[in-house]
Structure 1
Amino acid sequence: MTATILFVDDEPDLEALILQKFRRQIRDGQLALIFARDGLEALESLEQNPHVDMVVSDINMPRMDGLSLLAKLQEAEEKKSTIIVSAYGDMSNIRTAMNRGAFDFLTKPIDFADLEATIEKTIRHVEMLREVRRRQMEAERAHASLSRFFSPEIARRLAGDVDGDGMEVQWRDVATLFTDITGFTSLVETAPPQTLGELLNEYVGGMTEIVFAHEGTVAKIIGDAIQVLFNAPGDQPDYATRAVACAHALDAWAEDFSASWKARGVNFGATRIGAHAGPALVGNFGGNRFFDYTAYGDTVNTAARLETANKHLGTRICVSASVAKGAENFRGRPVGDLMLRGRSEPLRAFEPLLQAKFEAPATAQYAEAFAKMEAGDAAAMPAFAALVGMHADDPLAGFHLKRLLNGAKGTRMQLE
């Protein structure tokens, strides 16, 4: 690499001395030297030679002095490393120069051995800055490319080459969401390929954008199903709150999406969402040749089964008690104690509600009916019947009424 140095000094014999001193480095292509007699001439020279690596400038010069030049150089987008030369003992100007961003200083009369050592040190500094900028640009390009394929947090870590920090397989407390679409298999069998491709790409793209807006990690996309993680790979103390907010946003977007496609003659089903929080084995399970950042364990399986539970309950979102308890200002209503496949103990589940629905009279009426059912009170059946009579569009209330009519008692239920 040839380092280009701009010397700025109005002494007439300095240029010859500098050229003589650095003749070997110039001959070997290590240095290229440019000269200017004051600050204004230096600025003009920099416009013509933007590749200049460093500036060595005297302070006392006509038209524009060295301190004024230094201030101009610091205003530029690409700041030049600058060595200021001042009379011996002129500490006031030297102090001003260092405060204005000078990299180093020399005193007159110039000791050429000191000048050579200072230039070498400055060149090393310039090369280090260039390497940092190069790596930063490479990381930004890599991040932009990786962001097309990975969740932003994973892309950031991969682009930054963080030596596996947070990407190795480990146990973490996470909140995980599963989403699925009702009737999607039938849609695949009946929709033209081009329609299905457009529809699925738009759906998955929109859903993942919402996940990213809540800073979630998309762990898997399998057809129409999406698995989302919170608190992985990075720490998110509010991961349960994020999971609930993300579930609401996904539900609202999916409902609008379904309505828009139905208006085009495509019967797109409802999106069901399940969420659970707890420990999971999280990390890259793809080995050395394939990247697969995902999670495994009972927490993940439970979230998937809560998503399926919506099918029986008539709900679109079903979350576990661990999510409801962990989420700040959680609003929702109890679903019951679900006996899910693979679990020996019942799991209390909730249906999250937006504030307007949570504050509606029907929610309080549901809570009263549920409390009666939980207590084994025979008045639970007429309470749910009254609720369904006023709100026939409440599938969860209808589900409980049907259970009670079929002789079920309490809130524990086995879902097939």
Structure 2
Amino acid sequence: MRDPARILVVDDVADNVEILRMRLTSLGYEVVVAEDGEQALAKVRAALPDLVLLDIMMPRVDGLEVVRRLKADKSLPFIPVILVTAKASPKDVAAGLDAGGDDYLTKPVDHGALVARVRAMLRIKTLHDEVQALNKGLEAKVREQVEELGRVGRLRRFLAPQLAQAIVSAGDEKILENHRREVVALFCDLRGFTGFSETAEPEDIMAVLKEYHGAVGPLIRKHEGTLDRFTGDGMLVFFNDPLPCEDAPERAARLAIEMRDAVAGLVGSWTKRGHKLGLGIGMAQGYATLGRIGFEDRFDYTAIGAVINLAARLCGEAGDGEVLMSGRLAAAVEAMAEVEDLGERLLKGMARPAAVAKLRALRLA
């Protein structure tokens, strides 16, 4: 509410208007006046007063009709109305309050009553405005939270929840635009899955995939890897993007060992059901181009580059329970892992031999 408060005095008798104007002005209020109901409606919309003192008995449009129209106009803010009437019977007062009036004064207007009722209505106006401002702030906060939940939901399609939340908290998705960065890529898929899927019932295939994904998915989240995509039994995970982490090689190594062990725990059950399956993993370290692809309703975050191809080829070369890695990655994790150098190998689809190593286990801390 403004200071000083603005009060609209409405009466078709000029002497009444002048008396109220003088009294209110002496109390420090800003006063505007209207001579009839039509003028009052126009003045309210133009001046947006903080309080209206409204005579009931007026020609053309009386005070009761004026207050009804004001209270029905949703475009107006809350403006308390004190009805000023020469009729003070309970029936008349009830009719005024029922029409939308907030209080009333009887003529001739007593100065003490005028001061008390004006101050009371202005206090109500102030409290109402404060509540409205609080509500608007809460509404804005709710909208922001809903938008944030939507953004988190979209980001969680391919990011660990911690990373998705961090990006949303930063308020900037530019990090998801195309860029180049060094990453550690991890490819894994099930050994024997192609033959299994050619002969098994669809329900059995879906059951195996559900168990497989249920075992390795939480591990990806645990180590805060970025899940690129599922391709049936295969998946690509990479580290150090979109948010950087200094220990990307170590995280990838830990994830690989835990994924291998988790799937090993499922193999017994699969074997009893006649499914000959295992897990192979390939990892490499190098530079890739990363970014968001797709369209508004469905997008993915992906990595492209030689390092991704190398990890995929190493995965294809790995036997059941093996974790193969590039020579560069092996050098990065040798302090915390047991690594066997396998020398150079010519991998399928690659023009030159690549240095390959096998990750056997993590060293005890």
The one-letter amino acid of 2:177's match is E
Corresponding residue for residue 241 of structure 1:
250
CA 1:158 to 1:189, structure 2 compared with 1: closer, same or farther past 3 Å? farther
1:198 paired with 2:226, answer: no
- Residue 182 of structure 2 is matched in structure 1 by 173
1:212 matches 2:221: yes
Structure 1 gaps of 5+ residues are: 1-20, 34-109, 360-416
Partner of 2:51: 23
Matched, 1:333 2:361: no
Q: AA paired with 1:131?
A: A
Counterpart in the other structure of 2:278? 270
Q: 1:322 — aligned with what?
A: 328
User: SS of the residue aligned with 1:178?
Assistant: strand
Aligned with 1:324: secondary structure? helix
Q: CA, structure 1 residues 225+278, in 2 after alignment: closer, same or farther (shift >3 Å)? A: same
Identity of aligned residues (%): 25
**TM-aligned CA deviation for residue 301 of structure 1:** 0.3
Q: Is structure 2 residue 358 aligned with structure 1 residue 351?
A: yes
2:294 and 2:154 map into 1 onto residues whose CA distance is 20
**How much has 1:196 moved relative to structure 2?**
1.3
Measure how far apart 1:202 and its partner are: 2.0
Q: Tell me the distance in 2 between the aligned counterparts of 1:325 and 1:182.
A: 27
Show the counterpart of 2:145: 136
Question: 1:119 and 1:317, CA in 2 relative to 1: closer, same or farther beyond 3 A?
Answer: same
**Secondary structure of the structure 1 residue equivalent to 2:324:** strand
Contact between 1:169 and 1:285, CA under 8 Å: does it hold in 2?
A: no
Q: Larger Cα Rg: Structure 1 or Structure 2? A: 2
User: Mapping of 1:272-311 within 5 angstroms?
Assistant: 272-287=280-295, 290-311=298-319
User: Is the 2:292–2:299 Cα contact (8 Å) retained in structure 1?
Assistant: yes
Could you tell me how far 1:201 is from its partner in structure 2? 1.9
Q: Distance in 2 between the 1:132 and 1:142 partners?
A: 15
* 1:414 alignment counterpart: none
Kindly report which structure 2 residues correspond to 1:342-381, keeping only aligned pairs within 5 A, or say none.
Answer: 343=350, 345-355=352-362
Q: Secondary structure at the match of 2:337?
A: coil
> 1:145–1:295: structure 2 CA closer, same or farther, 3 Å change rule?
closer
Q: Provide TM-score, normalisation by structure 2.
A: 0.60
For 1:210 and 1:318, locate their aligned partners in 2 and report how far apart those are by CA, in whole Å: 19
- Aligned Cα RMSD in Å? 3.9
Aligned residues of 2:288 and 2:306 also touching (Cα < 8 A): yes
Q: Secondary structure at the match of 1:286?
A: strand
CA distance in 2, matches of 1:200, 1:268: 14
Bigger RCO (CA 8 Å, 6+ sep): 2
What TM-score do you get using the length of structure 1 for normalisation? 0.53
Cα distance, 1:114 vs structure 2: 12
CA separation of 1:343/1:188 partners in 2, compared to 1, >3 Å: closer, same or farther?
closer
Aligned residues: 260
Structure 1 or 2: larger strand share? 2
Aligned partners of 2:154 and 2:287: how far apart in 1?
A: 31
Please tell me whether residue 151 in structure 1 is matched to residue 159 in structure 2: yes
Counterpart residue type for residue 320 of structure 1: S
What is the CA distance between 1:132 and its match in structure 2? 2.0
Please give the alpha-carbon distance, in whole angstroms, between the structure 2 residues aligned to 1:203 and 1:248.
15
The alpha-carbon deviation at position 211 of structure 1 amounts to 0.9
The answer on whether the counterparts of 1:315 and 1:351 sit within 8 Å (CA) in structure 2 is: no
Secondary structure at the residue paired with 2:299? coil
1:275 positional shift: 0.3
Distance 1:207 1:266 in 2: 22
| Separation in structure 2 between the aligned mates of residue 222 and residue 196 of structure 1, nearest angstrom | 14
Q: Distance in 1 between matches of 2:285 and 2:133?
A: 51
Residue 356 of structure 2: SS of its match in structure 1? Answer: strand
Alpha carbons of 1:132 and 1:268: their partners in 2 closer, same or farther (altered >3 Å)?
A: farther
1:321 offset after TM fit, Å?
A: 2.3
Q: State the SS of the aligned residue for 2:149.
A: helix
Shift in Å, 1:219 = 0.4
